[in-house]
């Protein structure tokens, strides 16, 4: 009868003895080396199964220099945008034998720094930062320190930092141009966090669409500065207090759009009859509110899959300098909250107003 190790588990030495090979051969099989005969590989696999042997991950990491884990830092786990992307990252990592350690920062840059420090202390093989709020200099230092790093929905100018993002400038234009084409000229923007790369990009797209339509930018029509239902309600309250309130709103994300919708309903105003709304993200809930929310969709699952693939390629030395930044196209999902019929693109203004262009793609959503 085999005598197991002091912790009661079989050892690599016992696997080697059972298979009739050296310990080095067992190690090569476990680590996927090609320098093992097929016969020896089969004997080792059979011995591992018979003994129910499980490699010691820590010891294996000391040998390979890898922990087979990656760190994932997100801005707000309560935001419905993140779970589909997190799931896609976990699925892609698991398919290649890696675990994911998840940290939430609650939109706080100091907490993000702390989370990154803890993950590095735990010897993760690389980091994915989604909606990162820390200064760019901090991220560049990680790259200088040779930490494999992928940022999501942000661009950092460093040759060793990869990025996966949706084109938020195009998304901002797409949403605003759609509202312009529906006949609106007093269009507000519900802004997200000031430190957000995506917020700045969507605001830029919003301003570009106004400029193309020959309309001046009015800073009074920009309200907000956070991302939550409460922030959307408060921003909408501020906008409704203007001498000339907006007739349409483009929100940084769907949570803010839903908060604005709640405030409008509380005041007895109709959506889209009195105020039209377009969000951003296309969270699952967007199709089921009343009225169903028109929004700009981000390919959340694809973003997660690409981020994980890029990072693991970097960790395993398979990455190339080509396509350091992967930019995905946004898509306008037309539902009832903007005043158009689901699936209907607003090609021309409904009133005699200036021209409006279109960028990106348009598809219909659920009618709720």
Q: What is the model's pLDDT at position 64? A: 53
pLDDT confidence of residue 50: 85
Q: How confident is the model at residue 60 (pLDDT cuts 50, 70, 90)?
A: low
Helices then strands, each counted (H, E), the chain: 12, 13
More confident residue, 142 or 366: 142
pLDDT for the residue numbered 8: 58
What pLDDT does residue 356 have? 31
Over residues 25-49, the pLDDT tens digits come to 887 877 666 678 888 888 988 888 8
Please state which of the ranges 141-155, 300-314, 333-347 shows the lowest mean pLDDT.
Answer: 333-347
* Domains recognised in the chain with CATH numbers: 12-64 (1.10.260.40), 69-167+301-328 (3.40.50.2300), 168-299+329-364 (3.40.50.2300)
- Which of 57-66, 143-152, 172-181 shows the highest mean pLDDT? 172-181
For 141, residues 6+ apart whose C-beta sits below 8 A from its C-beta are none
Query: Does residue 340 register a pLDDT over 80?
Result: no
CA dihedral 138, 143, 149, 155 (to 10 degrees): 60
User: What's the confidence (pLDDT) of residue 57?
Assistant: 54
Using 50, 70 and 90 to split pLDDT, how confident is the model at 163?
A: very high
Q: For the segment 200-253, what is each residue's pLDDT rounded down to a tens digit? A: 999 999 999 999 999 999 999 999 999 999 999 999 999 999 999 999 999 999
Which residue in this structure is represented by tokens 């020959």?
A: 214
Long-range contacts of 24-27 (CB under 8 A, 24+ apart): 27/63
Percentage, residues of the chain above pLDDT 90: 68
Could you give the C-alpha distances from 258 to 42, 97, 261, 268, in angstroms and in order? 58, 39, 5, 15
Q: What pLDDT, on the 0 to 100 scale, is given for residue 349?
A: 39
pLDDT winner (highest mean) among 17-31, 130-144, 348-362:
130-144
Closest CA to 186 of 244, 251, 237: 244
Residue 301, pLDDT above cutoff 80: yes
Residue 148's closest CA among 7, 324, 294, 351?
324
* Dist CA 217 CA 203 (whole Å): 11
The arithmetic mean of pLDDT across residues 119-146, rounded, is 92
Kindly report, residue by residue over 84-95, the tens digit of the pLDDT.
999 999 999 999
């Amino acid at each position: 009868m085999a005598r197991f190790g002091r912790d009661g588990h079989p050892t690599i030495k016992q696997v080697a003895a059972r298979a009739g090979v050296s310990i080095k051969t067992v190690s090569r099989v476990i680590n996927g080396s090609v320098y093992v005969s097929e016969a020896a590989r089969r004997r080792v696999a059979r011995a591992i199964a018979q003994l129910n042997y499980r490699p010691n991950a820590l010891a294996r990491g000391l040998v390979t220099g890898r922990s087979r884990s990656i760190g994932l830092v997100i801005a707000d786990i309560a935001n419905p945008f993140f779970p589909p992307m997190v799931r896609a990252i976990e699925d892609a990592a698991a398919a290649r034998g890696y675990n994911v350690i998840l940290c939430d920062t609650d939109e706080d840059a100091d907490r993000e720094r702390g989370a990154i420090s803890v993950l590095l202390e735990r010897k993760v093989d690389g980091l994915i930062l989604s909606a990162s709020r820390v200064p760019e200099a901090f991220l560049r230092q990680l790259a200088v320190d040779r930490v494999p790093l992928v940022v999501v929905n942000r661009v950092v100018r460093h040759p060793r930092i990869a990025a996966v993002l949706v084109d938020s400038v195009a998304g901002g234009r797409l949403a605003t141009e759609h509202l312009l084409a529906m006949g609106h000229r007093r269009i507000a923007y519900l802004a997200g966090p000031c430190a957000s790369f995506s917020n700045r990009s969507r605001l830029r797209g919003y301003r570009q669409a106004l400029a193309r339509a020959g309309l001046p930018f009015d800073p009074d029509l920009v309200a907000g500065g956070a991302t939550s239902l409460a922030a959307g309600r408060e921003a909408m309250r501020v906008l409704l207090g203007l001498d000339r309130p907006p007739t349409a709103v483009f929100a940084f994300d769907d949570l803010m759009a839903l908060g604005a919708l709640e405030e409008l309903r509380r005041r007895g105003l109709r959506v889209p009859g009195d105020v039209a709304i377009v969000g951003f993200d296309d969270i699952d809930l967007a199709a089921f509110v009343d009225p169903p929310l028109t929004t700009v969709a981000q390919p959340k699952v694809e973003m997660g899959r690409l981020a994980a693939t890029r990072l693991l390629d970097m960790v395993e030395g398979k990455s190339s300098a080509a396509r350091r930044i992967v930019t995905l196209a946004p898509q306008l999902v037309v539902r009832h909250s903007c005043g158009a019929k689901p699936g209907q693109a607003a090609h021309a203004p409904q009133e005699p107003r200036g021209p409006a262009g279109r960028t990106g793609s348009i598809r219909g959503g659920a009618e709720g």
